C-alpha cells in the first residue's frame, strides 16, 4: 500500500535447530535511487530484502475493459466522413473469388440489419432509391497466391456515419454466416478514404484496368428484323457488353477508353478463371440484368483515372470489378477493339440484303 514502510530483513531462528540465531547483519542499503534501480535481484534476496529497497506498493485504477481489442480509428479532419472500410477475411477455408456475389450479399444483409437499414447500405432514403450510386459497394479481393478471398473493401461515396460505423464494428464481432460452408470472421482494419490503405489496389489511379470479376451487362442486344445487330454512331453493337460498358463509364463520369480488349480468362494469383466460373446472379434482392453471361475486358485510357471501377449488374456486390493492370499482372492478348478519339471499331460484315426497318 502507498506509504507502507519497506521491511528490514531480520534474523529468523530455524525450528529444530540447536544453534543459536546468528547475529543479524545489517543489510546493504543502496546509496541513492540510481543504485537501488540497478541492484541485482539475487543480491537483494541474499541480503534478506523481500522487496527492493526504496519501493512501495501503489494502487492503480483502470477501466475494466481497457485491454479489450478494438478497431483502429484513424484520425480525420472534423466534419469529414470516411468513405472506405477495409476488412481482412479469416476462415477455416476461405471462399473463392468466384463466389464474391454470395459473400457480398451475406455481408450486405448483416450490415443492413446491424445499421437498422441505414441508407448507405440499403441504397434507399424514404423508400426511394438513391441516385448516383453513392451507397456502399462491397468489393471482394484475392490478394493471396490463389483465388481465395482475403480482403473485403466497403466503398461508400456518400460517407460512413456513426450509425454505419457501429454496424461495421458489430460485423467484426458477429462474423458472417457461411451459407452451408465455413463461417467468415471479418477483421476491421480501419476506416478512411482512398489514400488510407496503400496496400489496396482498387483505387488506382492507372491508365490500364482489367477485370477481376466478370462484367454483366444491364441491357439486351438490339437487332434488326433480319437478325443483324444494330450499331451506334461509332459502330458498336447496341446492347452488347462492350457497348453497355462504355455507356456506364459515361454515366459514372469517367472518360471513354481508347481500347477495349475482351478476355477469355481472368488471371487471379496462380489461377486462370473463365467468366463462366463466376456466380453472376444474386440470390436475394433485385437488379437490372441484360440476360447475358459475364464478360472480361481490359480497358486502356489516355490518362490515369482513379478507382474503384465497379460497373454493370451486381456492381455493388462485387461484380464488374476492375483493377489496375500493373498490380493485376495481366498480359496483353488478342481481340482488341478501339473506340472514340476518332477511332471506331470495324463494323461487322454487311449482308447482301439491305437492312429492314425495325
8 A C-beta contact, residue 150 and residue 189? no
Same domain? 47 vs 111:
no
Q: Would 74 be classed as within a structural domain? A: no
Q: Would 303 be classed as within a structural domain? A: yes
Give CA–CA dist 323/212, Å, rounded.
6
8 A C-beta contact, residue 245 and residue 311? yes
Q: How many domains does the chain have?
A: 3
Same domain? 242 vs 304:
yes
Q: Which residues contact 76 (CB under 8 A, 6 or more apart)?
A: 82, 192
Same domain? 49 vs 89:
no
Same domain? 172 vs 212:
no
Q: Would 38 be classed as within a structural domain? A: yes
8 A C-beta contact, residue 290 and residue 216? yes
Q: Which residues of 279-318 are buried (b: 16+ CB within 10 A; e: fewer)?
A: bbebeeeeeebbebebbbbbbbbeeebebbbbbbbbbbbb
pTM, to two decimals: 0.68
Q: Helix, strand, or coil here: 343?
A: coil
Residue with cell 541492484: 39
Q: What is the DSSP letter of 248?
A: H
Same domain? 28 vs 117:
no
8 A C-beta contact, residue 323 and residue 212? yes
Same domain? 96 vs 172:
yes
Give CA–CA dist 240/282, Å, rounded.
21
Same domain? 209 vs 290:
yes
Find, among 162, 229, 192, the residue nearest to 83 by Cα: 192
Q: Would 199 be classed as within a structural domain? A: no
Q: Would 73 be classed as within a structural domain? A: no
Q: Would 211 be classed as within a structural domain? A: yes
β-bridge partners, 305: 206
CATH assignment at residue 126: 3.30.70
Q: Which residues contact 31 (CB under 8 A, 6 or more apart)?
A: none
Find, among 86, 302, 351, 65, the residue nearest to 192 by Cα: 86
Q: What is the pLDDT along the chain (358 residues), one digit of tens a residue?
A: 444 555 555 555 555 556 555 555 566 667 777 777 777 888 777 777 777 777 778 888 888 877 877 655 555 555 689 999 999 999 988 999 999 999 999 999 999 999 999 999 998 888 888 888 889 999 999 998 989 999 999 999 999 999 999 999 999 888 887 666 678 999 999 999 999 998 899 998 999 999 999 999 888 778 888 888 888 777 787 878 888 999 999 999 999 999 999 999 999 988 899 999 999 887 766 655 556 678 999 999 999 999 999 999 999 999 999 999 964 454 333 333 444 333 344 444 333 333 333 3
Q: Would 198 be classed as within a structural domain? A: no
Same domain? 153 vs 133:
yes
Full domain range(s) for residue 46: 1-61
Give CA–CA dist 206/304, Å, rounded.
4
8 A C-beta contact, residue 205 and residue 187? no
Same domain? 181 vs 138:
yes
Same domain? 298 vs 179:
no
Same domain? 26 vs 90:
no
Q: Would 72 be classed as within a structural domain? A: no
Amino acid at each position: 500500500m502507498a506509504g507502507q514502510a519497506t521491511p528490514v530483513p531480520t534474523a529468523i531462528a530455524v525450528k529444530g535447530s540447536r544453534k543459536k540465531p546468528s547475529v543479524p547483519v545489517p543489510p546493504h542499503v543502496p546509496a541513492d535511487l540510481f543504485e537501488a534501480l540497478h541492484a541485482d535481484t539475487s543480491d537483494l534476496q541474499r541480503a534478506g530484502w523481500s522487496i527492493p529497497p526504496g519501493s512501495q506498493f501503489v494502487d492503480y485504477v483502470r477501466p475494466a475493459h481497457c485491454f479489450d481489442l478494438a478497431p483502429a480509428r484513424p484520425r480525420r479532419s472534423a466534419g469529414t466522413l470516411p468513405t472506405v472500410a477495409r476488412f481482412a477475411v479469416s476462415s477455416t477455408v476461405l471462399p473463392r473469388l468466384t463466389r464474391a456475389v454470395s459473400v457480398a450479399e451475406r455481408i450486405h444483409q448483416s450490415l443492413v440489419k446491424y445499421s437498422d437499414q441505414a441508407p448507405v447500405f440499403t441504397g434507399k432514403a424514404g423508400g426511394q432509391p438513391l441516385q448516383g450510386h453513392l451507397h456502399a459497394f462491397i468489393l471482394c479481393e484475392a490478394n493471396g497466391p490463389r483465388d481465395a478471398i482475403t480482403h473485403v473493401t466497403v466503398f461508400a461515396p456518400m460517407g460512413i456515419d456513426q450509425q454505419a460505423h457501429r454496424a461495421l464494428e458489430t460485423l467484426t464481432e458477429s462474423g458472417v454466416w457461411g451459407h452451408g460452408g465455413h463461417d467468415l470472421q471479418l477483421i476491421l482494419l480501419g476506416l478512411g478514404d482512398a489514400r488510407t490503405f496503400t496496400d489496396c489496389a482498387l483505387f488506382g489511379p492507372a491508365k490500364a484496368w482489367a477485370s477481376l470479376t466478370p462484367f454483366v451487362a444491364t441491357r439486351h442486344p438490339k437487332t434488326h428484323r433480319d437478325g443483324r445487330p444494330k450499331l451506334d454512331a461509332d459502330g458498336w453493337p447496341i446492347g452488347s457488353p462492350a457497348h453497355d460498358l462504355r455507356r456506364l463509364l459515361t454515366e459514372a463520369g469517367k472518360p471513354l477508353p481508347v481500347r477495349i480488349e475482351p478476355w477469355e480468362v481472368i488471371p487471379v494469383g496462380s489461377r486462370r478463371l473463365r467468366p463462366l466460373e463466376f456466380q453472376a446472379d444474386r440470390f436475394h434482392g433485385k437488379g437490372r440484368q441484360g440476360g447475358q453471361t459475364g464478360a472480361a475486358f481490359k480497358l486502356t485510357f489516355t490518362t490515369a483515372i482513379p478507382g474503384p471501377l465497379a460497373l454493370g449488374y451486381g456492381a455493388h456486390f462485387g461484380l464488374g470489378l476492375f483493377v489496375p493492370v500493373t498490380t493485376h499482372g495481366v498480359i496483353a492478348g488478342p481481340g482488341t477493339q478501339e473506340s472514340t478519339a476518332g477511332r471506331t471499331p470495324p463494323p461487322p460484315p454487311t449482308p447482301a440484303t439491305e437492312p429492314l426497318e425495325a
